[in-house]
Structure 1
Amino acid sequence: MLMGEYQHSLDAKRRLIIPAKFRDQLGTDVVLTRGLDGCLFGYPHAEWQKLSSKLQALPLTKRNARAFVRFLYSAASACTFDKQGRINIPSSLCSYAHLVKKCMVIGVANRFEIWNVDCWNKYNHDTAADFDEIAEELKIDF
């Protein structure tokens, strides 16, 4: 299970260190794609295959299904870790997530997310303010 948050810097060649705690669970490479809320989603191959199966089961006749599948697949990129534990993030994905220098890498159970640090801080602040309401709506028991 991927969890926690880590701040790292994107270098001039668009390489970002993925935390060692994550790499131990991810293997030698990951699939990186556009995520929701303006971040990037990173999946180990087994989880990407599960998601891919669900996406392929969506009805081709539904416009929103086609749009969602295109959104994820058209930006997807297989990224291999280098010896320092970095992945090279394609420029299109950096642009999408506004990644310039400081990034947050967060674990979200079966995937990790990469955020622009300012966007993450704003999202985290806004969500924290509504956390009680969100929990009540989802009916989560702790």
Structure 2
Amino acid sequence: MFMGEYHHNIDAKGRLIIPTKFRQQLDSCFVLTRGMDGCLFGYSLSKWHQLEQQLQKLPLTKQSARSFIRFFYAAAAECEFDKQGRINISSTLIEYANLSKNCVIAGVLDRIEIWDEDAWQQTSAETAQNFAQTSEELRDLFDLNL
């Protein structure tokens, strides 16, 4: 399980350090792709394969399924760590997530998320503001006891 929030800089060549704690869980190679809310999602290969199996069940006759799969897979890339624990992020993914110098790498259950720091701060502030209401809604859906 991934958890925690780390701040690192992306360099001009698109290289970003992934925290040691996350590297250990991702092994030597993982998949990075477009995420939701303007961030990038990173999955271990085993989790990626599980996700692939689920997505293959979506009906190709539905436009929304085709669009989602296309968008999700088209920019996906396998990432390997260099000796300094960095990955090289493609320009397509950098542009999608609007990554500037300051980035946040967050652990979120079964994946990591890579955010531009300004977008992360804005999303975090909005989430904090609505946390109580969201907790109530989720509690009703899943019988959560937070």
**Would you say 1:141 and 2:117 are equivalent positions?**
no
CA deviation after TM superposition for structure 1 residue 20, in Å: 0.2
Partner of 2:21: 21
Separation of aligned partners in 2, 1:71 and 1:12: 25
Give the TM-score, by structure 2 length.
0.96
Structure 1 equivalent of residue 89 of structure 2: 89
After the TM superposition, which residues 29-48 of structure 1 pair with which residues of structure 2 at under 5 Å, given as runs? 29-48=29-48
The amino acid that maps onto 1:5 is E
Cα distance between partner residues in 2 of 1:101 and 1:74? 25
What SS does the corresponding residue of 1:47 show, helix, strand or coil? Answer: helix
Cα deviation for residue 61 of structure 1 reads 0.6
Supply the AA of the counterpart residue of 1:141. N
Which residue of structure 1 aligns with residue 79 of structure 2?
A: 79
Counterpart in the other structure of 2:50: 50
Percentage of identical aligned residues: 56
CA-to-partner distance for each residue in 1:105-134, whole Å, 9 max, x for gaps?
000011000000000000000010000111
Q: CA deviation at 1:12?
A: 1.2
Aligned to 1:110: 110
Find the residue that maps to 1:58 and give its secondary structure.
Answer: coil
Give the deviation of 1:67 after TM superposition: 0.7
Runs of 4+ in 1 over 6 A off after TM superposition: none
- The offset of 1:100, in angstroms, is 1.6
Aligned pair 1:64/2:64, yes or no? yes
SS at match of 2:37: helix
Structure 1: 5+ residue stretches without partners = none
Q: CA deviation at 1:29?
A: 1.1
Once superposed, what is the RMSD of the aligned Cα atoms?
0.6
